Amino acid sequence: MALQHHQRTSEVVARAREHDWRIALPTGVVAFAALIGGSIFGSVHGPFIRPRVVVWSAAAALLVFGVIATRRFAAGLGHLVSTRTMPAAGAAIRLVTTGVGYVIIICAELGLLDVSIEHLLVGAGLAGIVLGIAAQQSLSNVFASVVLLLARPFVVGENIRIRSGALGGIFDAVVLGVSLTYVTVRVNDGILKIPNSVMLATAVGPITPNEQEPSKSSVETQ
């Protein structure tokens, strides 16, 4: 029963991923065609009405089909990464891909509508600096999660040994999950959620079931 359930789940995920790619590719082509066509045949500041209609229609098509293509491409890429690595990695890739796609769409829309982006870039830069300072800790955890998911020093369900002065020494744990902000582990006295930035700065290695956790007294004597 378990094997059949796993096979059915794999088939459903494969069909969903294939469905995402089938929608992402044609909508992406339509969005790109709208961008090229609007840039060539349209003009916002032209003296005639037809070029204006063309450019605004192209901008609307670019927005609609670009958003659909971005979301479907991010979902398909997230499913692909999840099946080959871990679900948390797929979620991170999907989030990053969606953000990059939306930024590209916004820049394309501004360029198509002949909007000066110099002032927008200055304002966005200042806002980015303020937000970066305000959310420094959160962003460091997000970037640390990407590094952890790419480097893969451990996987979910693995028994690991953590060496960290910030966490109080050496202890053994079982990895329960990896998210964009925390690594969830189970230790002898309960469950811990360790920030990704802290986890990235620790020394981590796999352990075998017959290995014993070193006592604090032995660590102190060493």
Q: Which domains does the chain have, with CATH numbers?
A: 2-134 (no CATH), 154-221 (2.30.30.60)
pLDDT score at 222: 37
pLDDT of residue 69: 93
**% of the chain with per-residue pLDDT over 90:** 14
What pLDDT score does 218 carry? 37
Coil, helix or strand at residue 138: helix
For residues 35 and 47, the model is more confident at 35
**Rounded distance, CA 82 to CA 94, Å?**
10
Please report the pLDDT score of residue 61 as a whole number.
94
Other Cβ atoms less than 10 A from the Cβ of 214: the count is: 15
**Residue 26: what pLDDT?**
92
What pLDDT is attached to residue 36? 92
Say what the pLDDT of residue 221 is: 36
pTM: predicted TM-score of the whole model, two decimal places: 0.58
Which has more pLDDT, 216 or 29? Answer: 29
Q: What is the mean pLDDT of residues 162-181?
A: 82
Task: Work out the pLDDT band at 34, boundaries 50, 70, 90.
Answer: very high
Closest alpha carbon to 156 in 211, 96, 206:
206
Answer with the residue of higher pLDDT: 138 or 109. 109
